Amino acid sequence: MYTVAQLVGGVWGAGGDGGELVVRDPADDTPVSTVPVATADEVGKATQAARNAAAQWAATAPAERAAALHRAADAVAAVIDELAAAVTAEMGKPLADARGGVEAGIGTLRQYAELAPLRGGRTLNGEADALDFLTPQPRGVVAAITPWNDPVAVSCGLLGAALVTGNVVLYKPSERTPATGWLLARALDQALPAGVLSLLTGGPEVGAALAAQEVDVVAHVGSTATGRAIAAAAARTGAKLLLENGGSDPLIVDAGVDPEWAAEQAALGAFANAGQICVAVERLYVHREVADDFVAALVRRAEALRLGPGRDPGTELGPLVDRRHRDHVHGQVAAAVADGARVRVGGEVPDGPGAFYPATVVTDCRHDMPLVREETFGPVAPVVVVDSFDEALRCAADSPYGLAATVLTRSMSHAQRAWRELPVGTVKVNAVFGGAPGGAAHPRRASGQGFGYGPELLDEFTATKAVHIEAPGGGHW
Ligand code: NAD
């Protein structure tokens, strides 16, 4: 059992007068973590304490901050097993995936430690006796509000980039993975001056209290509804916003592709991490020509997945994060069935403890069903059969979200049309996951705003200042 503590003004164990939360293992409902809840007053005091620490960290040489981030990455690497176990215990994903997420986070910390000191401004060509340049400066106090689905990787990105560029950070991890956030903050804090990183814990009300503070940046990775509430709060304070929010990513299966291979890709995209990935495949537009063979192959793959607790090495599909979320996933499936869709495999809530939900394939779906249009965030593959690539592209583009999309096709012209025409941040052709290091994209519409990843995230946490210097009157320095 983890006993989480907050970190405020460089002091561990501060505050928590807002009560206590208990997180339960989604595999068996046993209690995993007890968590203090910050009051709004504590959030205000933590923000003031962070503000007091900001000037000194901003004035620290970039190379020194980078060295601190490297030491922080070492400290996280030293507790990699503990962190992976906490992720699995709190949100359920298979242990090997949880470890992969921690490794990704450590890699990101190291990348930012290497990249940040190399990034500068630029000089301008002004008058011969003047100096004109643009220089990036830390923004000041950053509120980082994070989700549970890949808690270490996501947090390391935001925290690493914000800290190494000279900002102080108020970190509010998800109430579903608070011990993971606490273990991460403990490791990072070992390498940082006191007060540079703060940890506040609790639920949505703590996030809302934080987003209402006079901070310089609010960086939120999470649902679209939360992102919108945070945007409204930031409109009042003037804080810069960075939002990486929900998605409903389409997968197009074109005529002429190998249905077995396409089903393998679809299963990976829809069922990995039990579908709880921002860029999971959420809706499938499949050409009529391959639809029957594709669905049969996808059903076989869904049936073959081994469902179980994330801590069992044989598990391929862990539980959903909790029963509240399972109700949401199953509710969307049940509504689609009531509206004429057909469950081909899965689609039933299993008996017994935990929040398990089977890999589910639903056919006879229509593009206008909420199961297709909204984010499900579960191991569900809703199939819409289409008669042409044009129709598939039109449906894929017709979404309130704009995170990512995948197209499986043998046609180079279809691939070209897909990446040019789809209004999303990332387009993948013939692979649901993957991409070169350093990839970063702008999510569109309800999926958020700003670069949440890649070297460009370093720019998000700095403000560019334009400087013009002339000699004093008389012409001599
Ligand atoms: P969530 O928005 O409910 O919670 C995320 C964080 O926001 C938590 O720390 C929570 O306490 C806080 N929060 C909740 N309500 C708040 C409010 N009113 N004001 C301020 N903070 C508040 O999201 P979640 O359920 O934890 O995560 C799942 C969502 O995250 C999915 O929609 C998924 O697509 C998205 N996600 C997006 C990306 C991306 O890069 N685009 C990555 C991972 C997850």
CA of 313 to the centre of ligand 1 (A): 29
Residues 4-21: tens digit of each pLDDT:
999 999 999 999 999 999
* Structure confidence at residue 471 (pLDDT): 87
Domains by residue range for the chain, with CATH: 2-245+447-466 (3.40.605.10), 249-429 (3.40.309.10)
| pLDDT higher than 80, residue 474 | no
Token reading at 319: 């539980």
**Which of 6, 21, 149, 150 has the most ligand 1 atoms within 8 A of CB, as the residue to mutate?**
149
φ/ψ region of 166 (left if φ > 0, alpha if ψ in -120 to 50, else beta) reads: left
Crossing angle between the packed helical segments 95-115 and 62-78, to the nearest 10 degrees: 160
**Which of 213, 221, 451 has the most ligand 1 atoms within 8 A of CB, as the residue to mutate?**
221
* Structure confidence at residue 336 (pLDDT): 98
* Structure confidence at residue 473 (pLDDT): 84
φ/ψ region of 73 (left if φ > 0, alpha if ψ in -120 to 50, else beta) reads: alpha
- The Cα-based distances of 55 to 40, 195, 218 in angstroms read 24, 11, 19
Residues 298-314: tens digit of each pLDDT:
999 999 999 999 999 99
Q: What is the mean pLDDT of the chain?
A: 97
DSSP-assigned states of every residue in 119-137? ---EE----TT-EEEEEEE
Residue 227, H or E segment = helix 224-237
CB 214 within 8 A of CB 237: yes
CA-closest residue to ligand 1 atom 35: 222
φ/ψ region of 444 (left if φ > 0, alpha if ψ in -120 to 50, else beta) reads: beta
**Which of 145, 176, 242, 327 has the most ligand 1 atoms within 8 A of CB, as the residue to mutate?**
145
pTM of this prediction?
0.97
Neighbour tally for 204: CB within 10 Å: 14
CA-closest residue to ligand 1 atom 16: 204
Minimum-distance ligand 1 atom for the alpha carbon of 172: 9
Averaged pLDDT, 248-261: 98
What is d(CA 61, CA 392) in angstroms, rounded to the nearest whole number?
52
CA of 223 to the centre of ligand 1 (A): 4
| pLDDT higher than 80, residue 477 | no
What are the two backbone dihedrals, phi and then psi, of residue 340, each rounded to the nearest 5 degrees? 110, -5
CA-closest residue to ligand 1 atom 23: 222
CA of 250 to the centre of ligand 1 (A): 21
Minimum-distance ligand 1 atom for the alpha carbon of 443: 41
Residues 79-128: tens digit of each pLDDT:
999 999 999 999 999 999 999 999 999 999 999 999 999 999 999 999 99
What are the two backbone dihedrals, phi and then psi, of residue 255, each rounded to the nearest 5 degrees? -60, 150
| pLDDT higher than 80, residue 476 | no
Active-site annotation, residues: 244, 278
What is d(CA 3, CA 32) in angstroms, rounded to the nearest whole number?
9
Above pLDDT 90, what percent of the chain?
Answer: 98
Residue found by looking up tokens 């809706």 in the block: 283
CA of 143 to the centre of ligand 1 (A): 13
Confidence tier at 144 by pLDDT (50, 70, 90): very high
- With a CB cutoff of 8 Å and minimum separation 6, the contacts of 243 are 220, 227, 230, 231, 443, 448, 449, 450
What is d(CA 210, CA 203) in angstroms, rounded to the nearest whole number?
11
| pLDDT higher than 90, residue 171 | yes
Q: What count of residues does the chain have?
A: 477
* Structure confidence at residue 167 (pLDDT): 98
Could you tell me which residues are beta bridge partners of residue 249?
Answer: 281
| pLDDT higher than 90, residue 475 | no
Helix (H, G, I), strand (E, B) or coil at 473: coil
Helix (H, G, I), strand (E, B) or coil at 255: coil
What is d(CA 401, CA 403) in angstroms, rounded to the nearest whole number?
6
* Structure confidence at residue 179 (pLDDT): 98
What is d(CA 93, CA 87) in angstroms, rounded to the nearest whole number?
7
What is d(CA 463, CA 448) in angstroms, rounded to the nearest whole number?
20
What is d(CA 410, CA 408) in angstroms, rounded to the nearest whole number?
7
What is d(CA 188, CA 76) in angstroms, rounded to the nearest whole number?
7
Residues 337-366: tens digit of each pLDDT:
999 999 999 999 999 999 999 999 999 999
| pLDDT higher than 90, residue 435 | yes
| pLDDT higher than 70, residue 411 | yes
| pLDDT higher than 70, residue 38 | yes
CA of 174 to the centre of ligand 1 (A): 8
CA of 412 to the centre of ligand 1 (A): 37
Which protein residues touch ligand 1 with a CB less than 6 Å away? 145-149, 154, 172, 174-175, 203-204, 207-208, 211, 221-223, 226, 229-230, 244-247, 278, 375, 377, 403, 443, 448, 452
